[in-house]
């Protein structure tokens, strides 16, 4: 091929890209001619497609620029602040319009789309009917929904941790309604029988007043928190555990028998509870407990309630009985000299408001006694009771003041009472038992000297 023909072919290839739009009649004929150096040439199919694509892209660019200007004019007419120019880089960084060349260039979903958006501003969504085609649709759950608090059932260890503080606190306040309210808040489930069993076990290690409170608690719990069969199950378990209970409480068989008798009399246990064990008990401790209960029920068969099975405790006892018990306590102390035993007996009386009587009886016993030993022992006892807090300052003052007030009558039986009292008061003050004011208030016997008969028997001033 010659050099001239090669040049002509290169010019023909570059001619479609250098020329402008084709004439109007060229598209209809389907065979346009291209002007060239050698004359008019026809359009090739490929060249024609490329030319049409350029025209469409140019028309779309003009349309986008026109729509952007229209939206900017609308926002300015509504009073909004003018934003950045549509073509500026700053505007493109936060532009939410489509960059795919589709649509009118408005925000997606009318401004209700995007991350963290719950819908267009001002739109309130109403109730939507469940769709049966929804994968999460549950036909059974479409009724009325009821929400309830579910409390899991307590295990044996958890029950003991929750119930034991309730019972110990009940021994302090004695309010059965509070215990019932706390127990209702627990899901006892099949462990209801453990409540009476735990309460009785704690009462066996306590005082007579605690056992009385436990019997009242069992009577009040029946029909409200536990049933008679639950209490029967609890006592049956305790009868089986008696060999272990005796290790801590030797009197457990007798006490458990009294609990059973009181529960039967209070209708907390079925009346045929004792009949169930006839001829079926091999443990001697369990037989002793059942025999004790049977004896009490036989003796009190005409009484509906065995109210005094645990005795009368605390301030419910008569004053004369308490005075007698304190007097006996002090006499035993003078014989044995055991301060700890005297302290334990005083606590067992459960009358902290009446301890001033012990101070009074101790001082009177010293005045009516003889020798130095009772004085020293009583001062030691009062010192221990003062330090442990069993006898308060007010009770100590009240006991001595009662002796001061009755010293005249005491002197009729004990002529040396004034001297003994002064000595006792001085020792108590030195040991820090009484205050200086109480020591100075101690009455002193005045000396009255009479003159001779010749002076007419007048008292010498």
Judge if 322 and 403 occupy the same domain. Answer: yes
Judge if 350 and 237 occupy the same domain. Answer: no
pLDDT at 141: 65
C-alpha 336/C-alpha 161 separation (Å) is 42
Judge if 292 and 320 occupy the same domain. Answer: no
Taking 50 as the pLDDT cut, the residues of the chain under it are 1-32, 34-38, 302-304, 448-450, 457, 459-461
243 occurs within a structural domain:
yes
Judge if 193 and 233 occupy the same domain. Answer: yes
C-alpha 152/C-alpha 144 separation (Å) is 24
C-alpha 33/C-alpha 16 separation (Å) is 10
Distances (CA, A) of 357 to 23, 350, 404: 135, 13, 14
Judge if 365 and 341 occupy the same domain. Answer: yes
For residue 178, the domain's CATH number is 1.25.40.180
Other C-beta atoms closer than 10 Å to the C-beta of 323 total 15
DSSP output for 89-107: HHHHHT--S-SSS-SSSPP
Judge if 258 and 321 occupy the same domain. Answer: no
Q: Residue 237 in 3-state DSSP?
A: helix
Q: Residue 41 in 3-state DSSP?
A: strand
C-alpha 255/C-alpha 292 separation (Å) is 9
The angle that helices 373-388 and 356-368 make with each other, rounded to 10 degrees, is 170
Structural contact between residues 364 and 402, judged by C-beta atoms closer than 8 angstroms: no
pLDDT at 414: 87
Judge if 265 and 218 occupy the same domain. Answer: yes
pLDDT at 93: 57
Q: Residue 299 in 3-state DSSP?
A: helix
C-alpha 209/C-alpha 312 separation (Å) is 8
pLDDT at 18: 40
Q: ∠ CA(237), CA(239), CA(243), 5° rounding?
A: 110
C-alpha 51/C-alpha 374 separation (Å) is 135
C-alpha 253/C-alpha 290 separation (Å) is 8
261 occurs within a structural domain:
yes
Nearest to 19 by CA among 56, 62, 42: 42
Judge if 349 and 268 occupy the same domain. Answer: no
Judge if 191 and 286 occupy the same domain. Answer: yes
Half-sphere exposure of 15 (CA within 13 A, CB side): 20
Q: CB-based contacts of 347: which residues, under 8 Å, 6+ apart?
A: 390
C-alpha 415/C-alpha 408 separation (Å) is 10
- Provide the residue range defining the domain that includes 421: 315-440
138 occurs within a structural domain:
no
- Residue that is last in its domain, among 273, 299, 325: 299
DSSP lists the bridge partners of residue 459 as 450
Judge if 209 and 284 occupy the same domain. Answer: yes
Judge if 392 and 418 occupy the same domain. Answer: yes
Q: Over 345-368, what HEC string results?
A: HHHHHCCHHHCHHHHHHHHHHHHH
Helix (H) or strand (E) holding 197: helix 194-204
Judge if 241 and 351 occupy the same domain. Answer: no
Number of domains in the chain: 2
């Amino acid at each position: 091929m010659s050099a001239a023909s090669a040049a002509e072919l290169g010019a023909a290839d570059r001619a479609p890209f250098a020329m402008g739009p084709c004439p109007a009649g060229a598209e209809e004929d389907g065979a346009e001619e291209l002007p060239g150096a050698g004359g008019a040439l026809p359009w090739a199919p490929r060249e024609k497609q490329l030319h049409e694509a350029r025209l469409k892209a140019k028309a779309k660019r003009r349309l986008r620029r026109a729509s952007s200007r229209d939206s900017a004019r609308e926002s300015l007419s509504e009073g909004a602040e003018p934003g950045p120019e549509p073509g500026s880089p700053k505007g493109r960084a936060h532009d939410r319009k489509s960059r795919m060349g589709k649509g009118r260039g408005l925000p997606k979903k009318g401004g209700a789309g995007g991350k963290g958006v719950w819908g267009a501003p001002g739109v309130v969504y109403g109730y939507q009917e469940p769709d049966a085609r929804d994968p999460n649709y549950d036909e059974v759950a479409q009724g009325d929904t009821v929400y309830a608090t579910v409390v899991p059932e307590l295990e044996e260890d958890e029950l003991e941790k929750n119930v034991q503080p309730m019972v110990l606190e009940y021994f302090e306040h004695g309010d059965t309604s509070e215990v019932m309210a706390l127990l209702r808040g627990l899901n006892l489930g099949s462990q209801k029988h453990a409540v009476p069993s735990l309460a009785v076990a704690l009462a066996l290690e306590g005082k007579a007043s605690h056992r009385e409170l436990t019997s009242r608690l069992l009577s009040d719990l029946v029909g409200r928190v536990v049933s008679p069969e639950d209490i029967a199950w609890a006592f049956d378990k305790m009868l089986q555990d008696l060999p272990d209970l005796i290790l801590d409480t030797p009197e457990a068989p007798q006490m458990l028998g009294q609990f059973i008798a009181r529960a039967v009399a209070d209708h907390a246990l079925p009346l045929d509870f004792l009949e169930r064990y006839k001829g079926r008990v091999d443990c001697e401790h369990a037989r002793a407990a059942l025999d004790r209960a049977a004896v009490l029920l036989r003796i009190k068969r005409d009484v509906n309630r065995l109210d005094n099975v645990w005795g009368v405790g605390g301030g419910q006892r008569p004053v004369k009985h308490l005075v007698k018990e304190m007097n006996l306590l002090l006499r035993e102390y003078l014989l044995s000299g055991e301060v700890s035993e005297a302290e334990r007996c005083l606590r067992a009386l459960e009358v902290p408001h009446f301890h001033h009587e012990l101070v009074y009886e101790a001082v009177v016993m010293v005045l009516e006694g003889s020798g130095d030993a009772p004085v020293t022992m009583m001062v030691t006892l009062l010192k221990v009771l003062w330090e442990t807090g069993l006898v308060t300052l007010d009770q100590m003052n009240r006991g001595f003041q009662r002796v001061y007030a009755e010293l005249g009558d005491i002197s009729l039986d004990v002529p040396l009472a004034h001297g003994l009292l002064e000595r006792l008061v001085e020792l108590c003050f030195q040991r820090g038992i009484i205050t200086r004011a109480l020591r100075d208030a101690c009455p002193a016997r005045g000396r009255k000297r009479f003159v001779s008969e010749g002076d007419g028997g007048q008292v010498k001033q």
